[in-house]
Amino acid sequence: MLQALVFDLDGTLVDTEELHRQAFNQAFRELGLGWDWGPALYGELLSVSGGPDRIARYVDRLRVAAAEKARLRRLVAGVHRSKTRIYGELLSAGQAPARPGVRRLIREARAAGIAIGIAATSASANVQPLVRAALGPEAGAIAALVCADQVARRKPAPDLYERLLATLRVSAPGSVAFEDSANGLAAAKAAGLHTVAAPSRWTAGQDLRGADLLLPDLGELDLAQLQRRLPVLQAVHP
């Protein structure tokens, strides 16, 4: 029996990566670091889950003396705090619509009594405002939300999904995860969930062939079609 639909947040439920990129760059300017992450570079860095680890990876790539690299690594937490604040400001000032098909799937799942959760690699401070902005009335259907700062390991480790399943009190074989990235897909598979991958413009070049269902987007997918295309799931309404 299909028990739960669980969604990655950034890139899957809503395309926020451009806002994230702008927030990183504004934080770099405010702190006088002289860094600038263009779209191509940011696309590469998205292979690393989570802002702090992404900044640390970038520092590791810099051609600077070992002492300077060590100094910069000590700044990572502060840089990320500034980025998180700026991202919240950008989010409040703009719009963050859900990707096509997401709100329909959530409405249908709610009507069918299927649990709905979110596994977010974002910091907790910005997740609730983003969910409300993206989902509107459907935000009330979210039964559980787990953020990266609530678990020991980020994606591709399964920690986020394992905690989310435990919070929802559902089984992995009865749940479907929606992801847009290779790291997210690996995390969901490691936790034992069925998977649907719908890449964003930032992750279109990643290898998502391990997904149980690979789609260009979720715009045409409804609950009945999901169950037909993943025959391992029994119909909610036989």
The identity of residue 151, as a single letter, is V
Any idea which residues carry the catalytic annotation?
Answer: 8, 10
